[in-house]
Structure 1
């Protein structure tokens, strides 16, 4: 399998890199901001104009006819630039709309409407297929009750995609103009449209995880690059830190982690371009969580005290990697998913 991007994909990555650099959080004197940021409508419009919101969707649906591979490559550049916009979450919601053939997808691709997800539970574990939310009615008379938790502030969302049970059956629903308080959406008899069942949920989470895993790769690459450059230029006892073998070995471990994770993420993106492969996505997400933590922690430690300061981006990358690890299922969740399916694979005799 060839993991090298083709000419068009390289051009896309270059264009996104140029655009994303202008959206990097700026230092206003107290260090560049980190953590959740207010929604930037101007930045969102620029992403829509570039076509990032419609990359994997067909032209008939208002998209650009690319694939999940391009989504991962674009997200990687956003991750490098520390763009604080909910791209992966929007991709998950858009995938649900696409799977259901919703007319709202065209507005999402064009940037006119912002649709995000609210699959989580307030104070609960990640289990989107076992929601406490309930749906009643049918057709145009469906209403939802309960609370959904998103991955980001939902205040600017025109609609949210969530899950609910109707007579014990799982469904994915679209709720327009939801009642929200930051990341919490309250459905108190809210009108909803059923988008589909488990297949729609799988499609949404697969694309969302591929997008955020691509973002993680970008953050890991940037943290590694900054660390290597620091080891080359920072001196101790009159010599560069790179002359100390123990430190270069730790940097080498970071490099191995980045490359292994990159291969898994690109494989998952390639698999998703053909069909929804939840196992490939879970393998990628497991490595993102495992090596994202390694790269982030090692980057801070190898930088010493400066790595902990608000003015330095290494800590920001580590914070973002920690957030990604807990979005759409954490490392333990995806490892447990893979463990449950071990029995479905053939045994290999090792001679």
Structure 2
């Protein structure tokens, strides 16, 4: 499989890199801000103006006719620049609107409306197939939690239980308190069933894995540069074999993750049909597992190899590690995706390796 980007994709990467660098959180004297930040409407408008919100959607729906591959490449640059905008979450919501042929998708792509997801529940482990929220006609009851502050959202995409399955709903003008949404009696529009949820989670997960890849690659670059310039006993610390071996482990983790993320994006862009259809759930779970496993390795090693400076707010390594930890727990953590993969082992026949 050829992971080499096309000329158009390289141009997209370069343009997004330039934009993302202008959106990187700035150090105001006490270190650059880390963690969740207030929604920046101006920065979001710049993403919309560049067309990043419509990359994965058809032109007749207001999109740009690209695919999940372009979304992932853009997300890599945003992750490398530490951009704190909810890009992956918005892509998940947009994918749900697209699967349901909602007219609201055009406003999302243009940046006029911000729609985010709220699939989680307070005090409950992640499970896309279960929801304590209930639906009665066109009204929802219960609470939901998003992945970020939902105060700026014009609408949210959430789920409600219907017996043994879930259905996906759009709630406009939601009642929110940070990431928490109160749905008691909230009017909602049904978007569809499990197929809509699967479409949302697939694109959302692939996009956020792209962000994680960008963060991992940037943390590796910072670490290698530090090993080359930091001296101890009169020589660069890159001369110490143990440190270079640990940096090599980081490099291997980044490259394995890169292959998995790009393959997931390509699979989502062209999943095949019939007997040739790819198992997207398994592909996404494998990617999330690798991102969680190697993201933790790269983040922790980057901090330790930097020593004390890696723990300071002024240095970006800790910020990347914090972001990687957040991504690892969004839309299912490493253990949940590993359990999903383990549950499907019996679906495969044995293979004799010659």
The 5 A counterparts of 1:122-133 are 122-133=122-133
Contact 2:165/2:194 (<8 A) preserved: no
User: Tell me, which stretches of 5 or more residues in structure 1 are unaligned?
Assistant: none
Q: 1:143 aligns with which of 136, 139, 143?
A: 139
TM-score by length of 2: 0.97
Correspondence 1:44 to 2:47: no
Shift of 1:167: 4.8
The 5 A counterparts of 1:306-325 are 306-325=309-328
Correspondence 1:236 to 2:232: yes
Q: Which residue of 1 aligns with 2:299?
A: 296
Give the distance between the partners of 1:193 and 1:103, measured in 2 at CA. Answer: 12
Q: Which residue of 2 aligns with 1:335?
A: 338
Q: Which residue of 1 aligns with 2:217?
A: 221
Shift of 1:246: 0.5
Q: Which residue of 1 aligns with 2:329?
A: 326
Shift of 1:128: 2.5
Q: Which residue of 1 aligns with 2:104?
A: 104
Shift of 1:238: 0.3
Shift of 1:274: 1.5
Q: 1:185 aligns with which of 181, 187, 194?
A: 181
Q: 1:117-161 CA distances to partner (integer Å, 9 max, x unpaired)?
A: 000001111013200000011xxxx10000010000000000000
Contact 2:129/2:165 (<8 A) preserved: no
Contact 2:130/2:165 (<8 A) preserved: no
Shift of 1:169: 4.1
**Equivalent residue of 2:185, what SS?**
strand
Q: Which residue of 1 aligns with 2:281?
A: 278
**Equivalent residue of 1:171, what SS?**
strand
Aligned residues, how many? Answer: 347
Give the distance between the partners of 2:85 and 2:22, measured in 1 at CA. Answer: 13
Shift of 1:251: 0.3
TM-score by length of 1: 0.98
CA RMSD across the alignment: 0.8
Q: 1:167-186 CA distances to partner (integer Å, 9 max, x unpaired)?
A: 55410000000000000001
Shift of 1:350: 3.3
User: Tell me, which stretches of 5 or more residues in structure 2 are unaligned?
Assistant: 272-278
Q: 1:65-89 CA distances to partner (integer Å, 9 max, x unpaired)?
A: 0000001100000001000100000
Give the distance between the partners of 1:241 and 1:167, measured in 2 at CA. Answer: 60
